[in-house]
């Protein structure tokens, strides 16, 4: 049937995003081929689990591509301290090989989950847009940007998504740290932090992926993905504590004191993530009809 939804291959289906995205797409009526390196199964007749080879080594993508009409490429390495070599092999070269295989296998659409790190460091002095010149500042961001360039050069149908930091059940990294702090039953010294940061719920990322699969205006485009309203670290903590039935418990310690304390203890990178702004609105994605919750 002409309106039948494509079979979608989701790589990295066992990761934080994949464990949410795969059942979400199945609920939207897609048949999902869930590919992961580690064994992981979904209890849904519309989801078939398959093995994903090691992305750090060359392999033939064709057997996986033969099972689908579209691909959502999540698999990669996101370790903060991973070096350029492993990031380049897993995030860039494996993605380039996937794009080249798609170019040889007929009409398939690739949705690539890149990162805001491909565009910016951990803070920015202006609101980011997709038209900004990309300035990644770590191995992860550089490898994601290189993968984006390889996809564009492959001559295939694609959509590139650049999500900001993602929160939701099973979250990792910065959000997991903030929420872990929020659960500690003591006052926290972040009440005076005013820097706004764009964040993204896992539900909104899932709906953005579905928009990229379904909406013809997403073809050949790159989109920042974020919740429409940025927040401060103080607001995040207060919101999480409210969900626990507790008061915000925030003390207004001067920003300069927090910055100095973190700098003295060798944790200036933390200050850049909590005390400096990174606002990346999803204006372009909203303009094609994306409807975040």
pLDDT tens profile 278-292: 999 999 999 999 999
Q: Please, what's the b/e burial string for 32-58 (b: 16 or more CB within 10 A of its CB; e: otherwise)?
A: bbbbbbeeeebeeebbbbeebeebeee
CA distance 141 to 84: 10
Q: What are phi and psi of 86, to 5 degrees?
A: -70, -40
Categorize the per-residue pLDDT at 2 as very low, low, confident or very high, splitting at 50, 70 and 90.
Answer: very low
Mean pLDDT of the chain: 92
Q: Is the separation of the CB atoms in 163 and 130 below 8 Å?
A: no
> What length is written for the chain?
293
- Residue 180: per-residue pLDDT: 85
- The pLDDT tens digits of the residues spanning 96-112 come to 999 999 999 887 899 99
Percentage above 70 pLDDT, the chain: 98
Q: How far is CA 29 from CA 5, 46, 126, 253, in A?
A: 7, 8, 39, 50
Encoded tokens for 15: 């990761």
Encoded tokens for 256: 């300069």
Q: Which CATH number fits domain 8-169+200-227+281-287: 3.80.10.10, 3.40.50.720, 3.40.50.2300, 3.40.120.10?
A: 3.40.50.720
- Average pLDDT in the 162-173 region? 89
CATH 3.40.50.720 in the chain: give the residue spans.
8-169+200-227+281-287
Tell me how many degrees the CA angle 50-56-58 measures, rounded to the nearest 5. Answer: 80
- The pLDDT tens digits of the residues spanning 15-63 come to 999 999 999 999 999 999 999 988 777 888 899 999 999 999 989 999 9
- Residue 3: per-residue pLDDT: 60
């Amino acid at each position: 049937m002409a309106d039948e939804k494509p079979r979608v291959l989701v790589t990295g289906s066992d990761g934080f995003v994949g464990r949410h995205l795969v059942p979400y797409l199945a609920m939207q009526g897609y048949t999902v081929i869930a590919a992961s390196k580690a064994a992981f199964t979904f209890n849904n007749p519309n989801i078939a689990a398959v093995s994903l080879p090691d992305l750090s080594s060359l392999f033939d993508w064709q057997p996986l591509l033969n099972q689908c009409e579209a691909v959502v490429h999540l698999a990669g390495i996101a370790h903060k301290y991973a070096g350029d070599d492993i990031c380049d092999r897993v995030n860039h070269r494996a993605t380039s090989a996937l794009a080249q295989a798609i170019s040889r296998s007929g009409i398939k659409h690739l949705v690539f989950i890149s990162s805001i790190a491909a565009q910016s460091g951990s803070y920015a002095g202006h609101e980011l847009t997709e038209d900004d010149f990309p300035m990644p500042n770590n191995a992860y961001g550089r490898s994601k940007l290189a993968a984006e360039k390889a996809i564009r050069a492959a001559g295939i149908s694609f959509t590139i998504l650049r999500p900001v930091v993602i929160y939701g059940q099973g979250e990792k990294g910065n959000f997991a740290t903030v929420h872990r702090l929020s659960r500690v039953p003591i006052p926290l010294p972040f009440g005076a932090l005013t820097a706004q940061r764009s964040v993204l719920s896992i539900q909104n990322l899932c709906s953005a992926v579905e928009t990229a699969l379904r909406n013809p205006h997403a073809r050949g485009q790159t989109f920042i993905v974020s919740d429409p309203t940025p927040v401060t670290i103080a607001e995040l903590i207060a919101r999480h504590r409210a969900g626990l039935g507790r008061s915000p418990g925030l003390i207004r310690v001067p920003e300069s004191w927090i910055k100095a304390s973190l700098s003295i203890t060798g944790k200036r990178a933390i200050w850049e993530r909590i005390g400096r702004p990174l606002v990346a609105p999803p204006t372009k994605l909203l303009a094609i009809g994306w409807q975040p919750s």
